[in-house]
């Protein structure tokens, strides 16, 4: 009888852990980010950020936040559509 209770409790615990794992992506809000790094792993020039923000503001794409992690550049946007349009513009500029 005790084996049955242990097996039942273990099964419920595993089921709760799996449910929590599937729920984790819903706990964080979506924040589209465009990451720019150098293909040679060199630091991205600090003058690049103002150039890109100027390019994006001319296209009416507001950047909500700019970060410089690990010698790269991250541009945050408010929607995925803005992120995709910005990707096309930046790809044309940087090649």
3-state secondary structure of 73: strand
pLDDT greater than 80 at residue 3? no
Give pLDDT tens digits for 8-62: 999 999 999 999 998 887 777 778 998 888 888 788 888 888 888 899 899 898 8
Long-range pairs for 21-27: beta carbons < 8 A, 24 or more residues apart: none
At 24, list the tokens.
């984790």
Q: Is the pLDDT of residue 1 over 70?
A: no
* 29 neighbors 54 (Cβ within 8 angstroms): no
Mean pLDDT of 1-14: 86
58-72 as b/e, with b when 16 or more CB fall inside 10 Å? Answer: eeebebeeeeeeeee
Average pLDDT over residues 82-90: 91
CB within 8 Å of 83: residues ≥ 6 apart: 32, 33, 34, 77
Alpha carbon separation from 61 to 39, 87, 91 (Å, rounded): 25, 11, 15
């Amino acid at each position: 009888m005790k084996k049955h209770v242990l097996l039942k409790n273990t099964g419920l615990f595993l089921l709760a852990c799996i449910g929590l794992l599937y729920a984790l992506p819903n706990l964080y809000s979506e924040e589209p980010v465009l990451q720019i790094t150098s293909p040679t792993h060199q630091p991205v020039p600090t003058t690049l950020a103002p150039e890109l923000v100027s390019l994006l503001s001319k296209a009416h794409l507001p950047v909500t936040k700019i970060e410089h992690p690990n010698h790269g550049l991250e541009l945050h946007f408010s929607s995925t559509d803005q992120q995709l349009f910005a990707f096309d513009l930046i790809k044309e500029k940087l090649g």
